Structure formats: C-alpha cells, structure tokens
Structure 1
Amino acid sequence: MTEDVGTARPAANRYLSGLYAPVREEITAIDLPVTGRLPESLRGRYLRNGPNPLGDPDPATYGWFGGEGMVHGVRLRDGHAEWYRNRWIRSDSVAGRLGEKLLHGPRHLGLDFAPNTHVQRFAGHLLALVEGGSLPYELDDELHTIGPFDFHGTLPGGLAAHTVIDPASGELHTVAYCVARPYVQYLVAGTDGRVRHRVDVPVEGHPLMHDFSLTERHVLLYDLPVVYAAPTPGGEFRVHWDDARPARLGVLPRDGGAGDVRWLEVDPCFVFHPMNAHERNGVITIHLVAYERLFDTRAKTPATPSRLERWTVDPAAGSVRRQPVDDRPVEFPRADPRALTGRNRFGYTMLEDPAPGGAGVDRLGAGLVKHDLERGTSETFLVHPAGDVGEGAFVPAAPEAAEDDGWVLAYAYDPERAASDLLVLAAQDFAAGPVAKVHLPVRVPLGFHGNWIPDGE
C-alpha cells in the first residue's frame, strides 16, 4: 500500500491503471448473487473508503493519497445480500463537478477535501475520515453525503484517518495533525458526539503521523523520520524520509497534558498502522506493521518491505525493544474491536505480493493472514494468483462470542469475473477459505480502510 509521494509519477501511473484504476460511475445493485451461505447473524453494512479521482488527473503528478474519496458498501441481512452501492463523498469540489447543489458547512482553515481513507460509526454519525486538517464528512445509511461534521462545533481543527473507540467507555480517541498549519492534537470525544478533552502535543516540523495506539491508560504517538516537505508551487504537499529526524515514540497518559509526554528513542523506521496495544505491570506491548525505510527519494529502492512486529515499551527504563513477529510483507493490521486497548490473542493482516511480475523475487501471492500472537503461528488464505484483496475486518459472531468466533470481511478482485466479491471467512477455520462470496457487479478499486456497521448503531 506504499506510495512514492516524493517524486513525479511516470506517464503510466500505477495508481490510475489496473486494479487501482478509478471507476467512472456510481451504481446501485440489489439482490446480489451469493456463492456459499451468508451467516444470518451478519445484519448490517460492510463499508470501505478509498481514493477514486473524479475526472482525469495528470498521470505525471497524481498520487494515490490524493484521489477524492468513494465509499463502497454491501448491505447484508438474514442471509441475503440486499444491495451494493458506491458513492463519491460530496465535498464542494465534487458536488460542483457533478453539477449538484453545494452542501457547504463548517471548514477548518478553508480546507475542503472528500475524505478518502476510512469510515467509522460514532455517536449516531457515519463519518468518512481523512487526515491532514480537513473535517470528516457525515453520510446517511445509503451513503449519500450529509455534509462536513465538526462534532457539534467542538472539534478544534481537523480530525484524522484513524480513530479508536474505547470498548469500555464507548468514547472516541484520535491523534490529529495538520499540514497547512502544523500541530498535533490528542482528542477525546464523549458518547454525546462532542470533544471533551484536547491536548496540544509539541512536535517539531511536519511529521506524517498517520495513526496512533491506545491502551487502558496511555496514548502512543509515532514521531518518525517521514515528514512533509514545503508545498509545491501548485500547493501539493509531499512527504520524504529525513535522515536527520530522530525516531521516537511518545507515551502520554490519557488524562495528562502536553508536558506529560515521555519521548522514547526508537531505531529508525516508519509505522503506518498499529494493530493494538495493551499494558501490564507498567510495560506496554504493541503489535504493529513497520518499515525500515520509506519515502526515501534518494534511494534506488524508496520502500523496504513491511513486517509485523512486537514492540515492548518500558517507560520506567526508557526503552523500546523491537521484535519481528512475521517477516512476510503485510499491511492493514486489524484486531477484534472488542479487544482494543486490552490484550488480544488474534490479529489479521493483508498479505502483499512484493513483486507482481517482478524478476528475482519469489511471489507470495496476495491474501489475508490470521495471526495467533500467543503461539506465534499463523494461517493464510490466498486469493486467485491474478487477483488481489483488501483489508480484512473482523466481525464478532455475537457480543459475548470468543475473540476469534466470528467472520473476516474483505473485498477481493476475481479476474475470472473481472469484478469484485465481498469475501466472508470464518475466523476459526480461516485457511479453508470463504464460507460465502457476495458477487458485486463491478470492480472495487484497491483502496484503504473500512468497517462493519451493525444494524442498530
């Protein structure tokens, strides 16, 4: 999922072709065909956000992170796939180009972007998310855009691409940053949908802080050597690896202030996505995906493969110890949402093919991996060799079900149909493959993150 955003793109831009290529229209399909049997306990919508540029961007300059957001959704109920929808998020720019009435609404620093990274339900609001300073956008149950959402006037700036909803309190936690006017903020929103806690974290420069981790007592901040450069004359922000910037992990008590952040040195690396974090007897354990080097525009290979790691953080000793868990190139780590901030035994990642069609590299194929973090074992499901798969989201079979008693949902491209499927895998029989495939009428472009939204939320 990495992108070289520090250099101009070639005329044959990979993010505008193949499985990344944007779709050109919005569709609604009902009563979708299904192979296998859908679990009747799955009542809700699987939604996933991703870049889908509207129009024809310049291949020489377009980057994957810059496309307008489009949400793809499938509605499941009582063993049936009731509908598939894909909808662009109507920022003013998108609505104007589609010839629709502008929604207007609040803005932060005049920024208005169709969020393209994640989708989350919180406090009765379905929110499309993006980082960098723009506000989230609210959607209705059928993916129509309601408008920008500022947490009832309490959001002090932009939001972020990633949030954690604390299973114990139901509150939303996030770490937001802004590119146009640099800041880093730790924010907590109560179950009433209003921001109740804010900490302005002093950080030098313009670091790319895509995600964060949360335990029962602490917030963990990733201040690493990938930074934003000054904007181009056209106003485009790009990132690059900065050898002069120290890599460090911030440990902030949930109820602390800016002066309470403890910064711990880490070996240089970059982290897009942690899986989960927990603490016991003062020691914090984090499982995350790390790159040794990323966005280094001077290197012949600007990205190193990612891997799943365990970080053991001892704030009292001031140490962070990194250990590999799985050396295969994986990304988009997820865990049971009920286990977030506590100890999770199982986690799920997307296995990336490191060199499709490349020479001198063994192909692993694309698929999904279930990790048993206690035993150090894993199970793998591979998709068609000419296909691909996105992030897998875990859905518990019931509120009180065991941690891996449930389903993993993901969009996958089926080259034999030249269209995508929604895969439903049983987490306890992972390698056996899907118990059901919902056949969509179109291809879902490779994208970013999504969530299962149960009925009643």
Structure 2
Amino acid sequence: MADDASIARRIETGNLSDLNLLNPYVQGIYEPVARETTADDLPVIGEIPLDLHGAFYRNGPNPAAAPQGLHHWFDGDGMLHAIWFENGKARYRNRFIKSPDHVADLNGGCGAGGVLYPSTRADPTSTRGDRVYKDTANTDVVLHNGSLMGLWYISGQPVRVDASTLETLGVENFGGALPRHVSAHSKVDPVTGEFVFFDYSLYEPWMTFGTVSADNRLIHFQKVDLPGPRLPHDMGLTENYVILHDLPVVFSEGGLKRSMWQIHFADQPARFGVVPRTGRGDQIRWFETDSCYIYHVVNAWEDGDEVVMTACMMVPNGYPPNPAYGPYAPMVNVLALNAVPVEWRMNMKTGQVKKRQLDDRIGEFPAINQDYASRKTRWSYHVAMSKTELQRFAGLYKYDLVTGEAKTHLYAPSMFGSEPAFAPRIGAKSEDDGYVIAFVTDENTGKSEVQVIDAQNFEAGPVARVMLPARVPAGFHGTWARGDQIAA
C-alpha cells in the first residue's frame, strides 16, 4: 500500500475518492501527472555518448482526471514520454494522446474509469458501435511511415503522433482501408518498413491479421476462425510468417451471454498459429503446446525448417488476494506479473513443437535491438520484477537467448523503472553495440531520470543519468527511433 505521504498528496489531477485510496495503481510510482512538460538541454550526471542519436518514446496510462469510481490501471488516458539525444545533449517532453475517446471524455462523453458511458451496447443512439471500454491508445507505440502510432491492448483505433513534437495528428485508418481495429504489439518490419498487425474481437470467434506497406497502404488482410472468442495480447513476426496466439484465457459462458468481462483460465492447451505473411487465413498451421499465457513476445525468426519464438511465459505468482486492497484485491492479484523466458520451436515439416525454458528468474517487458526484429537475435533486455504483488520494476536483465545466461543491473533501492529500449550506437558493428535506456523514478522523492547503460558493459551501471524536470509514472511499452528515422 502507499505510505501516508503519497496518500496525502493524492494525485496531481485532483482528489481521489475514498474508494481509490485503496487503489495502489493511482498512487506512489503509478501516480499520474497533470501537466505536459517541455524541457531542453537537460542536466546530466556522467556524459551522454556522442554516438547516441535518436529518441526513446514510452507510452502508459495517465488519467486526465482523478478517478472517482472503480479504476483499473490499464484504463488511464494514454500519455507519451519521450527523450531525444543528439550531440551529447538531451531534451524531454510528455503529451497526452488525444484519441477520440480521450477528447470525448474531456467533453463529458465518457464515464468514470475505462468504461464508456452510457453503455454503448445498450444505447441504440450511440455512435461508438459495440465498444464498451474507453479506447485510449495507452499501451504500445511504434514508428511507421515517419510518425508514431499509439496502440491499445483491447484492439482499437491507432492514433498517429508527430515523432518530433508528440502532438496528436489524428486517427489512422490507412486511407479508409482499415476493416476494423489494430491491437497493441503489432509489429514493424525493420527491413521492409511494413506494419504487420493483428486484431481480435471480444465476443466473436475470430482473429485477423494484415499488412500495411511502408508508404501506408493496406496491402493484405485475412480472417482466422477460432473455436471461440480469445484474448491474445501479442503476436510473433518473422521474415515470412505471422504467429498468432490462441491461449486458454477465455470468457466465461455467462460473460459471453451478457457481453461482460468475465474471464477464466480454461483447461486446454495453448496454440500458436503460423501463417504466411501474405497467406490466406485458412492456411494457418496450429501448433499445440502446454497450457500457458503469454503477455509479451521477445522476438521470432526462422531457423531452417523451424519457426522460433521467444516470449515471457506466465507462471503462478503465489500471491493470494490481499484484502487490504478492498475491491482492488482481484486486480492487484492478476497484475502480479510472474513470467520466465521460454523458447518455442515449431517445425513446419514435421508439425512438432519443442519448448525450452531459458531461465527461472522472474522478468517481463522485453526489448531487443529493433533493427534485428523478425530476424535471429541473441540478446534481449527485460525488466527485473520485484518480489512483491505489485508491478515494481527493480532493474534490468540482459539475456543471452542462446545460453539463457543473464547479466543484471539493479536500480537503487527506492528507484523503479519500466520497459527499456535498445539504442544502437552510430556505426554499430554488432547486435548489442549500443545502449540500453530506461525511465526511472524514485518513489521517495518523486524525481525521475533516464539512465543510459552501455549494453556491452551492462553491469557497470549507467554512463549517463539524465535528470528530468517532471515525474514519469510507471507505464507500459516503448520504442527507440534512430535520429535518421525521425528526420525522415
């Protein structure tokens, strides 16, 4: 639970209701910020390397108004935080992502928390279709066709954002050709520049996948039938294949009948569907493996006859629901992310799948050198999870995906971070020739910084600590963009 000082502060956007005083995910390191900040020539402890040129963008939930009703951490308005590096200097800014639902909420068009009001499924006059949840584009961010796209985890409308200013450009529908929605964790191929996405329905038994060209044209789209509605969170992408997830977290029968969010872990295997990127939905090949859930894929590639995918596989967290959190006890329990790195190899000739756990340390939110995405990688960088029921990121692991060995960088005891990014140095000569970058916040002081770590000297600590003028709450996913990509 939050201490007396952080409870007294409440959140910067206003006073919390008594109900939300029990919600740890709007207090302490998760407390939202109210102000949009711009700052140049930031103070630095150490030196920013001259061969570091580009920007790190990180997305996350940030309620624009103090929640009054029940509030889930995932429901906050989207806010981007970014730091740009060039010529040994750094600048920072943060901006809300002005999704249509965010704007409507500011104008009184949505209800408290993340549920649209009035209920769109019960209101025949609603212009929001069958959507129940507020689409905030708060989960993921990718760079495609010269600008950013904010993406949402329940599959929603991509929102374009200027990569230099973070100003919202508008909803992206690829020239009106987007059939429906796009899920967070859709991928950009660094070689072709294509955006390969997936979409799923909350209540119908199907998923889709598609490809948007580097110049923003929808060039492929297919539907894949499923045994029932599914709730995938990520996908895999190789040079020639898409890997879709059919996992055993499903809606209850009662939830389906009432169109309510009632899910459970079903007694059934996990399945990975491998389909050619340009193939038909009925060409998908399903590979069954042990029952499990996956939030985040590390990377995927092809190795001879095998399609390889590495990901963070959830394992039981061992925490019983804590009554101290009142009505938030189930949310806290589900959000206790316990995952280990695992490799699956799917043989396209024999139909066999081989599973190999790489390590038993608990980590999540993996990042790689995005220049190698969809191709074979050796290195990945994961957050080191604290041994607590809350999502507290105490440091970083650098994994060798061949051996499973890891190097560790821990923050100071009161410091907690979020997903890192890998930034190749100018003229990089190998996959890990560059820097690992992370936003880090001191829960005691509320001050934030960006740490820059030499990836090839990972355990030596940061070569630069960039002091930020604003607090950066714990958040979700980010991406690195090279300086030449931003300029283009």
| Cα distance between partner residues in 2 of 1:269 and 1:148 | 34
| Cα distance between partner residues in 1 of 2:476 and 2:337 | 20
| Cα distance between partner residues in 2 of 1:334 and 1:149 | 25
| Cα distance between partner residues in 2 of 1:322 and 1:239 | 30
Aligned counterpart, 2:97: 89
1:129 aligned onto 2:159: no
- For 1:283-322, what aligned pairs fall within 5 Å after superposition? 283-292=306-315, 305-322=338-355
What is the letter of the counterpart of residue 43 of structure 1?
H
Give the CA deviation at 1:181.
Answer: 5.8
Residue pair 1:226, 1:295 contacting (<8 A) in 2 also: no
Cα deviation 1:117-146 (Å, max 9, x = unaligned): 111111123211113342111112211112
- Alignment CA distance shift 1:210-1:304 (3 Å): closer
Aligned counterpart, 1:408: 436
Residue pair 1:226, 1:241 contacting (<8 A) in 2 also: yes
Q: Which stretches in structure 2 are left out of the alignment for 5+ residues?
A: 1-18, 109-126, 323-329
Give the CA deviation at 1:294.
Answer: 8.2
Give the CA deviation at 1:109.
Answer: 4.0
Residue pair 1:396, 1:406 contacting (<8 A) in 2 also: yes
| Cα distance between partner residues in 2 of 1:180 and 1:135 | 18
Give the CA deviation at 1:447.
Answer: 0.6
* Greater mean deviation of Cα atoms: 435-444 or 181-190: 181-190
Q: 1:333 aligns with which of 362, 366, 374?
A: 366
Q: How many equivalent residue pairs?
A: 435
What is the letter of the counterpart of residue 219 of structure 2?
R
| Cα distance between partner residues in 1 of 2:75 and 2:270 | 26
- Alignment CA distance shift 1:232-1:208 (3 Å): closer
Give the CA deviation at 1:323.
Answer: 1.7
What is the letter of the counterpart of residue 191 of structure 2?
A
| Cα distance between partner residues in 2 of 1:271 and 1:356 | 18
Residue pair 1:43, 1:78 contacting (<8 A) in 2 also: yes
Cα deviation 1:356-393 (Å, max 9, x = unaligned): 799xxxxx981111112234321100001122111111
Residue pair 2:436, 2:455 contacting (<8 A) in 1 also: yes
The alignment partner of 1:394 has SS state of: strand
**Matched residues, percent identical?**
35
* Greater mean deviation of Cα atoms: 312-321 or 16-25: 312-321
What is the letter of the counterpart of residue 335 of structure 1?
I
| Cα distance between partner residues in 2 of 1:204 and 1:142 | 44
Cα deviation 1:7-35 (Å, max 9, x = unaligned): xx985112111111111222222321111
- For 1:354-393, what aligned pairs fall within 5 Å after superposition? 354-355=387-388, 366-393=394-421
* Greater mean deviation of Cα atoms: 123-132 or 431-440: 123-132
Aligned counterpart, 2:446: 418
Residue pair 2:393, 2:417 contacting (<8 A) in 1 also: no
What is the letter of the counterpart of residue 62 of structure 2?
N
Aligned counterpart, 2:182: 159
Cα deviation 1:298-353 (Å, max 9, x = unaligned): 99965672111111222333332222112111001121112222211111111100
What is the letter of the counterpart of residue 370 of structure 1?
K
Give the CA deviation at 1:401.
Answer: 2.3
- Alignment CA distance shift 1:383-1:28 (3 Å): same
Q: What TM-score do the two structures reach when normalised by structure 2?
A: 0.82
| Cα distance between partner residues in 2 of 1:108 and 1:182 | 21
The alignment partner of 1:259 has SS state of: helix
* Greater mean deviation of Cα atoms: 30-39 or 311-320: 311-320
- Alignment CA distance shift 1:365-1:454 (3 Å): closer
Give the CA deviation at 1:454.
Answer: 2.4
Residue pair 1:108, 1:133 contacting (<8 A) in 2 also: no
- Alignment CA distance shift 1:124-1:304 (3 Å): closer
Give the CA deviation at 1:152.
Answer: 1.6
The alignment partner of 1:50 has SS state of: coil
Residue pair 1:26, 1:86 contacting (<8 A) in 2 also: yes
What is the letter of the counterpart of residue 251 of structure 1?
V
Aligned counterpart, 2:356: 323
Runs of 4+ in 1 over 6 A off after TM superposition: 230-233, 294-301
Residue pair 1:161, 1:210 contacting (<8 A) in 2 also: yes
Residue pair 2:358, 2:403 contacting (<8 A) in 1 also: no
The alignment partner of 1:94 has SS state of: helix
Aligned counterpart, 2:271: 248
- Alignment CA distance shift 1:238-1:445 (3 Å): farther
Residue pair 1:119, 1:451 contacting (<8 A) in 2 also: yes
Aligned counterpart, 2:51: 41
What is the letter of the counterpart of residue 378 of structure 2?
R
Aligned counterpart, 1:5: none
Cα deviation 1:63-86 (Å, max 9, x = unaligned): 12111101111122211113x211
Aligned counterpart, 1:196: 219
| Cα distance between partner residues in 2 of 1:205 and 1:240 | 13
Structure holding more helix per residue: 2
The alignment partner of 2:239 has SS state of: coil
Aligned counterpart, 1:6: none
Q: Which stretches in structure 1 are left out of the alignment for 5+ residues?
A: 1-8, 101-106, 359-363
| Cα distance between partner residues in 2 of 1:428 and 1:311 | 27
Q: 1:24 aligns with which of 25, 31, 34?
A: 34
Q: What TM-score do the two structures reach when normalised by structure 1?
A: 0.87
| Cα distance between partner residues in 2 of 1:192 and 1:29 | 32
- For 1:244-283, what aligned pairs fall within 5 Å after superposition? 244-283=267-306
Residue pair 2:75, 2:136 contacting (<8 A) in 1 also: no
Q: 1:449 aligns with which of 461, 464, 477?
A: 477
- Alignment CA distance shift 1:75-1:98 (3 Å): farther
Q: 1:114 aligns with which of 136, 159, 164?
A: 136
CA RMSD of aligned residues (A): 3.0
- For 1:206-225, what aligned pairs fall within 5 Å after superposition? 206-225=229-248
What is the letter of the counterpart of residue 98 of structure 2?
R
